[in-house]
């Protein structure tokens, strides 16, 4: 990445819907779009890979009509390859799987790409970057988990700062087109450090949606903090 590209780097905000009111999810999605977020982040958990259960493809499909923003889905499920087609049909343009949750990561990424959508891989905090070194050519997004997945509202793990920096170095050495995404504990207190280290897509749930009185101001504040922190 050149110096001019770094200067022009757009930092995207992808709010997780996990803390939303699921009884009025359509309205919540419309409010997020009107507030100026860049994409919608869906957390899918199976109670096996992570200790929680959330939603499946039918819920996402039923909500597709409420927003024109890109939908990305973060599959925290074992053997995600079994359900890729369902999430594509539900309207997800980016599908991210965990390296730890599929036996044949290269094959799973190829399956995602075969549907004409973008592919991402997420790494748990303790999972080394070497686990994705040989699939970087298939990636659109590399997601660094800055909390242990399974629950919202957790605190950012500071040791992930070094991992984000290392992820950027790996990206530059292998596939400069890959975006670095950070998920977990992204708040007003941590967002600038994430961006300074190289994050380009920021997933925030509880911290962003806590500002329910004025969501647009909260989104603008997050965007401004990110812009100010760009290297």
- Determine whether 43 is an active site residue: yes
* Distance from C-alpha of 84 to C-alpha of 86, rounded to nearest angstrom: 5
Query: Phi, psi at residue 125, to the nearest 5°?
Result: -50, -35
- Determine whether 183 is an active site residue: yes
Choice among 38, 140, 161, 183 that is catalytic: 183
**What's the token pair of residue 96?**
């991210």
Of 223, 216, 132, nearest in space to 178 by CA: 132
Contact call for residues 96 and 118 (beta carbons, < 8 A) = no
* Distance from C-alpha of 32 to C-alpha of 24, rounded to nearest angstrom: 13
Segment holding 27, helix H or strand E: helix 25-35
Choice among 38, 43, 46, 161 that is catalytic: 43
Task: Mark out the alpha helices in 90-159 (DSSP H runs).
Answer: 105-114
User: Active-site residues: which are they?
Assistant: 43, 183
């Amino acid at each position: 990445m050149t110096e001019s590209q770094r200067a022009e780097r757009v930092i995207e905000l992808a709010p997780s819907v996990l803390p939303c009111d699921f009884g009025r999810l359509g309205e919540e999605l419309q409010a997020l779009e009107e507030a100026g977020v860049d994409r919608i982040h869906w957390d899918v958990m199976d109670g096996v890979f992570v200790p929680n259960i959330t939603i499946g493809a039918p819920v996402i499909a039923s909500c597709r009509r409420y927003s024109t923003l890109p939908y990305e889905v973060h599959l925290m499920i074992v053997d995600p390859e079994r359900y890729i087609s369902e999430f594509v049909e539900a309207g997800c343009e980016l599908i991210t799987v965990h390296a730890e949750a599929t036996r044949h990561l290269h094959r799973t990424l190829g399956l995602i790409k075969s549907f004409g959508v973008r592919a991402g891989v997420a790494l748990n905090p303790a999972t080394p970057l070497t686990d994705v070194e040989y699939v970087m050519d298939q990636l659109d997004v590399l997601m660094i988990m800055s909390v242990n997945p399974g629950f919202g509202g957790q605190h950012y793990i500071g040791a992930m700062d070094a991992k984000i920096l290392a992820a950027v170095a790996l990206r530059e050495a292998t596939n400069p087109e890959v975006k670095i995404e950070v998920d977990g504990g992204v708040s007003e207190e941590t967002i600038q450090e994430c961006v300074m280290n190289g994050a380009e897509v920021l997933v925030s749930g509880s911290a962003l949606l806590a500002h329910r009185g004025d969501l647009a101001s909260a989104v603008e504040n997050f965007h401004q903090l990110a812009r100010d922190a760009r290297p």
